[in-house]
Every structure is written in structure tokens, then in C-alpha cells.
Structure 1
Amino acid sequence: MNTHQNKGFLSFKTKVSALVESRMFQYFITFVIIVNAISIGLETYTFFKPYQNVFFILDCLFLAIFVIELSLKLFVQKLHFFKNNWNVFDFIIVVGSLVLYNTNFVSVLRIFRVLRVLRTITSVPSLRRIVNALFMAIPTISSVILLMTIIFYVYAVIGTMFFSYIAPEYFGNLQLSFITLFQTFTLESWASGIFRPIFAESGWSWLYFISFIVIATFIMINLIVGEIVNNAQKISQEIEDETGELKEDTKEIKELRAEIKELKALLTTYITQNEKKD
């Protein structure tokens, strides 16, 4: 009886595992996440206020689906579920939404509801690769940011020394210089708003601004982007290598199956011939 129950349990677990890992299930969860994101966005419009009860019911339905999905994954994977960082992220978002649902922490609950949109990343492999590449690039990005901080500081000091009397609202002190340089770094109205009034008073200021933009905006940003792209290519190559190995293993398994079939046919023929002789 126990053996029969164990077999039944294993069979059920196998079916649940196949369901959770199936593409249709993953597509369904992605669809639910997208619809949930749309409904959260629609709630911000005033003309949807009369339908708040509908949105509440929908939100409960979405949360129930996410809880069921999480429960199925935990049932199949058990403690292995928490070895994947993306699974941990999903767990925190869903459990946080569930725990805070009937509490007074409305603002925190809203944050968790909005964070559910980020689950799109966990359900789309290409997005996961990009985010992984971004995390892999953090050590290099940290070094680039440190270098940019030094460049910002040097240019802020120079700007304060030479332009504080011309444009005190932009370069009156070190803090204002940092903010001005950040605006210049983003290329937001830097020419008409900041550069031209200073250039009218100081002819060489073009050298200051252009050299800063070339160094900080073009070179540094390209370093960061290049590192992220490089890591994304590494991840893609690793996936291709793993896929290639799986294909080779699948090919070997097919060949082994074909050989076993041939052996079975030979054995059947041999047994039939011996029976005829007897």
C-alpha cells in the first residue's frame, strides 16, 4: 500500500513538474503579469475610479494565480527553489503582497503591487540575460563611476574657480558646480541654458564644456555600455555552449536507442530461430 502511494505521489509530482516547466504555463504566467501591469497602470487614471471594485477583484485574482504558481514550484523544487535568485525575488514579491494585503501598510503594499511588474523580467529569458549582464558588469561599472566622480570633482573645482563670478547660479560653489556638470552630462539644455551666457563672457569656456562632454558623456558611458554588451555576449555564448552539449547528448541518446532496437530485433530473430529448431 505504501509503495503504491509513493508511486502515485511520484506520478503526481512528475505531472506537476511537467506542467510548471511547460511553455504554455510560462506563457500564461507572462500574460497574467502583463495584464496585471496594465491594470495597475489603468488605476492611476481618474476616469477609472468608479471601477475600483473591479480592479480589486482582478488584483485578488492575479495574486491568487501568483500564489498557486509559487506553491506549485515550491512543491516540485522544494529547497532547490531558493537556490535561484530570480525565484527568491518572485517569492519576496508574492509573499510580501500576500502578507500586507489586509494590513494598514497601504503605501508598502502599493510598492509591492507595482514591483509585481518586474516579474516580467523573471518570465522572459532574454530580459533575464540582460539583467544578469548588468549585474556582472557592476565591478567594472563601480570603477568607471569612481573615475567619473574624480573627473566631476576636477571639473567642478575648475568651474567654480573660473566661472563663479560670471554665473554664480551655476558655478557659485562646489555643490552648484556638481549639479551644473550633471545637467551638462545629461546634455539637457546645456548649450542655451548654461554654455552660451558663460561663453559670451569667457571665450575659452568652450574648451571646458566640450572636453567635459567628450570625456564624461561619450567615453565613460560607452565604457559602461561596452562592458554590459560584453557580458551579455558571454552569457549568450555560455547558453549556446550548454545547448550544444544538450544537443550532442540528445543525439547520443537517440543513437543508443537505435542500437538497442537493433539488438532487440536480433535477439527476437535469434530466439525465434532457436524455437523453430527445437
Structure 2
Amino acid sequence: MARATLDLETHTSRLEAAIESIWFRNLITALIILNAIVLGILTYQEDLPPTLVVSLNGIDRAITYIFAVEIFLKLVVYRLLFFRSGWNWFDFIVVGISLAPGSEAFSVLRALRVLRVLRLLHVVPMMKRITEALLKALPGMGAIVAVLALLTYVYAVMATNMYGNTDNEEVLELFGDLPSSAFSLFQVMTMDGWRFEVVQKVIDDGHPWAWLFFITFIFIASFAVLNLFIALVVEALAAEQRAATDELLEDIEEDVEHAEEERDEILKLLTSLREEMASLRAAVDRRDSHGKTSE
């Protein structure tokens, strides 16, 4: 038997074709979602009737066994090639933990199988394009995060020195040490209750010009640096769109060239047919002429 591949488009056996078929994948995806819903309902098992809890646990266990059969079938088909996929590793570990004795404490891991729904990112073209653009933007995002972290650190040191030496418990909780200052500045950067929960408390503690310090931080961190994330993602999406457009244009050019080649071949074929028809007519005319001469 030919060796199986992880390519969903090619099949080397009926079993491989079955487990890679659309209906099988849709069935597993539906069971993943159902399993996640059941696990969510079971978080309220103290308020549910005992019979319903028993039924839900039975459904959960049955779905886990189906997942185990799925893993077994894939191991039979792919063998060691099965472990070349990260998702296969994830499924293997999660199902193994679910089947292990006393694994109730890890049952939440089974809900993580719902992450396999992310396969939609490879099926829907637009979602795939956005995902690829985000992945390509990650290196640039890392640089922006580093700049933002450095900026927050500098402002946190300044805020701790300026506002940390106080007897006000609320301000001390906000800026009493470097980690607290960094966390408070992160809240200011997100602009979540920054005025009354942070700035106003510092002003009331005897720092009337504190608002100027926080406003400059907001302008630099929120309006400048954070907007770079949006610009980076938009640029990545635009680059991905340009790449997709170029690929489409190349496909169109190839189709046009192929059509022109086919047209040339058809013209040659028509020309050859005309020549053959002309030869046949000439042969028929010669035969008719020879027949009349014989008479």
C-alpha cells in the first residue's frame, strides 16, 4: 500500500479518504463544539438534576472515546507521519489525558479541542488572508511592544519617584513601587477609568500638575505607539492583498497564454484540415476526369 500523506487532496487508501473527507471532518468539528458545550454546562452541575449530570458525563465520555478512535485511525493511516503536525500532537496529548484514570482535574483541557475550529482560517479565503497578514506582522509588533515597554518603564520610574512617597493609601497602592506604577500606567494607557481612579487621586494628594504628566503619557503611548499596531496590521493586509492580486494577475496571464496556445493549435489544425479537404477534392476531381475520359 502506498504511503499516506498529510495532504487532504490526495488519498492512497479508502480509510485515508474516509478520515480526510468533508463529512468526517465536519462530524469531528461538531463533536468538538458539542463537547465544549457539555463541559460548559457541567460547570453548573451543583445546580443541575443528578440524572442530567450523569447523562452529560456519559455524553462527555462517549465523545472522548470517539476522539480516541479518531486518533487511532489516523495513527493507522499516517503512522509516524501523524506526529509531524502540531495539531495532531495537541489532540494526542489532550485525548490521552482525558482517558487517563483520575483525569477529571484536567477535563478542561478537552474543551481546548474546540480550538481545532480554527481550521476555518485555512478554509475561508478572507480569514486565511487576514491570519497570514497578522502572522507576517508579528515581528514588527514585537518591536512596537518593546518600545511600549521601555516607555512604560521610564514613566513608571518617574511616577514612583514623584508620587510614591506619600501617606495616602490609595496613591501608595497605585504608585508605591515600580510594578504598581507600571500597572497603573497600563490602566491609564488603556484609558479605562484613568481620570477618577488614577489621576484625580494623585491630584487630590497634593500634585495639582500631575495631569500634565499623565496627558503626555497618554499622547505618546496611546495615540502614537498603540496606533502603530493598527498601521502595521493595515500595511500587512495591504501587502497580502497586493500579493493576492499579483497572483491572480499571473493566473490570468497564464490562462490567456494557454488560450492563445490553444487558439494557435486550433488554427493549425483547421489549416491542416483545409489542406486535406483540398487534397481530397483534387483527388475526386482527378478521378471524375479520368472516368469521363475512359468513357
Shift in Å, 1:191: 1.8
Q: List aligned pairs for 1:247-262, cutoff 5 A.
A: 247-262=252-267
Give the whole-Å Cα distance in 2 for the aligned partners of 1:239 and 1:68: 37
Relative to 1, partners in 2 of residues 1:214 and 1:252: Cα closer, same or farther, differing over 3 Å? same
Q: Which has the larger radius of gyration?
A: 2
- For 2:154, the equivalent position in structure 1 comes to 154
- For 1:134, the equivalent position in structure 2 comes to 134
- For 1:178, the equivalent position in structure 2 comes to 182
Does residue 248 of structure 2 align to residue 243 of structure 1? yes
Relative to 1, partners in 2 of residues 1:133 and 1:33: Cα closer, same or farther, differing over 3 Å? same
1:43 is paired with a residue of what secondary structure?
helix
2:40 is paired with a residue of what secondary structure?
coil
Query: Which deviates the most, 119-128 or 138-147?
Result: 119-128
Quick check: 1:93–1:115 contact (8 Å CA) kept in 2?
no
Output one character per residue of 1:100-150: Cα deviation in whole Å (capped at 9) or x when no partner: 553359438526514323333233332232232222222222222222122
Give the whole-Å Cα distance in 1 for the aligned partners of 2:116 and 2:150: 38
Q: List aligned pairs for 1:18-37, cutoff 5 A.
A: 29=25, 33=29, 36-37=32-33
Share of identical aligned residues, percent? 22
Output one character per residue of 1:212-253: Cα deviation in whole Å (capped at 9) or x when no partner: 122112211101121121011101111110111011111221
Give the whole-Å Cα distance in 1 for the aligned partners of 2:132 and 2:9: 30
Quick check: 2:202–2:210 contact (8 Å CA) kept in 1?
yes
Output the amino acid matched with 1:222. N
Give the whole-Å Cα distance in 2 for the aligned partners of 1:144 and 1:115: 28
Query: Which deviates the most, 247-256 or 121-130?
Result: 121-130
When normalised by structure 2's length, the TM-score is 0.68
- For 1:121, the equivalent position in structure 2 comes to 121
- For 2:39, the equivalent position in structure 1 comes to 43
- For 1:224, the equivalent position in structure 2 comes to 229
Quick check: 1:93–1:116 contact (8 Å CA) kept in 2?
no
Relative to 1, partners in 2 of residues 1:219 and 1:258: Cα closer, same or farther, differing over 3 Å? same
Give the whole-Å Cα distance in 1 for the aligned partners of 2:245 and 2:277: 48
Output one character per residue of 1:5-58: Cα deviation in whole Å (capped at 9) or x when no partner: 99xxxxxx98759xx9xxxx7799579647733651353023674334345545
Q: Which runs of 5+ in 2 are unaligned?
A: 3-7, 285-295
Output the amino acid matched with 1:185. M
Give the whole-Å Cα distance in 1 for the aligned partners of 2:101 and 2:192: 41
